Amino acid sequence: MDSERLQQQLAFIAEIDKLKSVLRRNYLVGGARRENTGEHSWHVALAAIILSEYTDEPIELDHVIKLLLVHDIVEIDAGDTFAYDVAGHDTKDEREQQAADRLFGLLPDDQRSELRALWDEFEALETPNARFARAVDMFMPMFHNVNSEGRGWRDNGVTSDQVFDRQKQIGIASETLHQKARALVAEVVERGFLPK
């Protein structure tokens, strides 16, 4: 047994537990409380399994799941940048790159390279797997907002135009999910939970 390797792996596992303390702006379905990033990572990975039949390109589902489980690890250091926070997005890339360097750097070299490559792939959006992972990652917060009467959007002054514009990105991998997102958001607008 390589005790140094195991120690590095356990240190990383302990560190990623901090994802459970990173609060996101959207609420759980039903609106009881805000979701944390650990919950989001699990939920979006499972959603990808369920929704994979709606991808517009062939994907490798096991790879998509890995992308989704790794993509938000950087939020431990960088925080969750709210989708509609223009100023926060100005520094997001730099903060997340630094976080990726530190966090993946806790692992043994082979696992550091593997997980960092997954994170880089998700960010680059150059593969069908990454595009579908991003589409599901964008669909789920919208789904949470729809099922909490737009609470996260209303709490943060988000308008329907902003939401409709952002949801276009779901269409990079799934026109079916994009159209469903548009219909769900339109329903929330119609019910008066999201201002025009």
pLDDT number for residue 128: 98
Distance from C-alpha of 182 to C-alpha of 175, rounded to nearest angstrom: 10
pLDDT number for residue 22: 97
For 163, counting Cβ atoms within 10 Å of its Cβ (0-12 exposed, 13-18 middle, 19+ buried), the class is buried
Distance from C-alpha of 78 to C-alpha of 67, rounded to nearest angstrom: 18
Q: Which residue from 181, 170, 179 is spatially nearest to 147, judged by alpha carbons?
A: 181
pLDDT number for residue 86: 81
Q: Which residue from 191, 110, 100, 119 is spatially nearest to 148, judged by alpha carbons?
A: 191
Given the structure tokens 């989708």, which residue do they identify? 83
pLDDT number for residue 105: 98
Q: What is the CATH number of domain 3-190?
A: 1.10.3210.10
Q: What is the pLDDT of residues 74-123, one digit of tens each?
A: 999 999 988 888 887 889 999 999 999 999 999 999 999 999 999 999 99
Q: Which residue from 115, 107, 113, 110 is spatially nearest to 4, judged by alpha carbons?
A: 107
pTM of the model: 0.95
pLDDT number for residue 30: 87
Given the structure tokens 């302990």, which residue do they identify? 14
pLDDT number for residue 17: 98
Q: What is the pLDDT of residues 95-108, one digit of tens each?
A: 999 999 999 999 99
The rounded average pLDDT for each run of 10 residues, N- to C-terminus, in the chain (196 residues) is 93 98 93 95 98 98 98 96 84 95 98 98 98 97 94 92 94 97 95 89
Instruction: Say if residues 173 and 131 touch (Cβ distance below 8 Å).
Output: yes
Q: Is the dihedral of CA 158, 164, 174, 123 positive or negative?
A: negative
Instruction: Say if residues 154 and 192 touch (Cβ distance below 8 Å).
Output: no
Distance from C-alpha of 144 to C-alpha of 109, rounded to nearest angstrom: 37
